[in-house]
Amino acid sequence: MARTRRKPIKVGVIGVGRGQSFARGATDVVGMELVALCDTWREKLRSVGKQYRVSTYTDFDRFLEHDMDAVILANYSHEHAPFAIKALEAGKHVMSETAACKTMAEGVALCRAVESSDRIYMFAENYPFSAANQELRRLYRAGEIGTVTYAEGEYNHAAEEDWRLGISPGVNHWRNWLPPTYYCSHALAPLMHITNTRPVSVNALSVVEEPTQSPHRVRVGDQGGIILVRMDNGAVFRILGLQLSSIHRVRYEIHGERGLIATADPNHWGNVRVHHEDWLRKEGQPKDRTYTADWPEHGDLARQAGHGGGDFWTNFHFSRAIRSGRQPYLNVYRGVSMSAVGIQAWRSCLESGTPNPIPNFKQKSACKPYLEDHWSPYPEDGGPGQPPPSIRGHVKPAREAIHYAKKRWRQLGYLGK
């Protein structure tokens, strides 16, 4: 890929954990220059700032005063919308990690903030950009299987408990309270990107594993969720995740009127399967074929990045959107819709599977019922009318589990509660 001769886009990143992936990718090969970092973890911020030789801030408002064009949000998953809105109001382009918002009201406010600005907003969902999912998108758009009628997306991150404690320090860390439906975009986004469809309603059920699976568990959110999503073309997508102990698996399968396209084991990042029943095959078309896909361009750079190349492509498409002045495919409406699927699915779980709508966030009239909808399972929002993070209610971890977790966190340098 030729290096751009244009003036680089000056980028600041909030979050020096996951954010380092975006910091590494903000280079001249995508027309970006990293100029600032922001985090409240002072020790790590100081270390990472020295590594990249950029300005560092612990105060977000001061960070926004830095001379930069764009902000990438890689802070805690449930905190993105308020930071995004502030950055947009400060005249910065924004790329936000998942989720886009933690409440329906935040989602509406974020959409209106993007509309009232002249800035770019991109939802940094990286799984649509694997070589396999890009190939599935090409096949679908070429008419390989006709119109989608049913699809499945799975993102189940099975993990050993000590590892999980290492990425969720603190009893009130968002990962410990996360309902299983809220982190649905890794499963849903590729399906939406491939088929260009939008969710309109959801039904969901929660799956609970007893703590015998993880005796040191301080997570109070449920482990698994199954979501049925009705799309705007009438298709049904089944979404599965998030942390069931059975298997670590990522999988996508799209059924159309004339066949099936899917990712294929053992390499979901690159392997693709295409299937046509005998009576649906065109002349000379094989019934079943499996092959390894590659990106049509920039594969050398993508292969060096995390999440199957997705961490390269998010920066790439954000930069391209800023330069073109056109909102990316993963715009604010699609990002908020995916986040709303998680929220409304959790409502459904607590209502034994009843359906809940996903509004069209472009339409202000459709959003009116949600302007003051601050329904949230997170501990800082607790109070009358707020939901629990589990279908069992508010679960209290065992004393022994809390003691073990705090010991583990101290070993990692975390001294909080």
pLDDT at position 1 is 42
CA distance 313 to 110: 23
Instruction: Give residue-wise pLDDT tens across range 312-344.
Output: 999 999 999 999 999 999 999 999 999 999 999
Cβ pair 18, 307 in contact under 8 A? no
106-136: per-residue pLDDT in tens? 999 999 999 999 999 999 999 999 999 999 9
Mean pLDDT of the chain: 95
Q: Which residue has the tokens 């998010």?
A: 314
pLDDT range class, residue 5, cuts 50, 70, 90: low
| Residue type at 300 in one-letter notation | D
pLDDT digits (tens, 9 = 90+) for 364-391: 999 999 999 999 999 999 999 999 999 9
Q: Residue 50: what are its φ and ψ, rounded to 5°?
A: -65, -40
Beta strands in 157-198 (DSSP E): none
143 or 241: which leads in pLDDT = 143
* Cα torsion 319, 320, 323, 327: sign: negative
Using CA atoms, how far apart are residues 165 and 412, in angstroms rounded to an integer? 10
Q: 156 - beta bridge partners?
A: 249
Nearest partner of 154 among 262, 16, 44, judged by Cα: 262
Please report which confidence band the pLDDT of residue 216 belongs to, taking 50, 70 and 90 as the band edges.
confident
DSSP state of 183: T
Q: In order of start, what are the domains of the chain with their CATH numbers?
A: 9-123 (3.40.50.720), 128-303+330-381 (3.30.360.10)
Kindly report, residue by residue over 54-92, the tens digit of the pLDDT. Answer: 999 999 999 999 999 999 999 999 999 999 999 999 999
Q: Which residues contact 78 (CB under 8 A, 6 or more apart)?
A: 99, 102, 174, 178, 182, 376, 378
Helix (H, G, I), strand (E, B) or coil at 226: strand
User: Tokens 């472009």, residue?
Assistant: 362
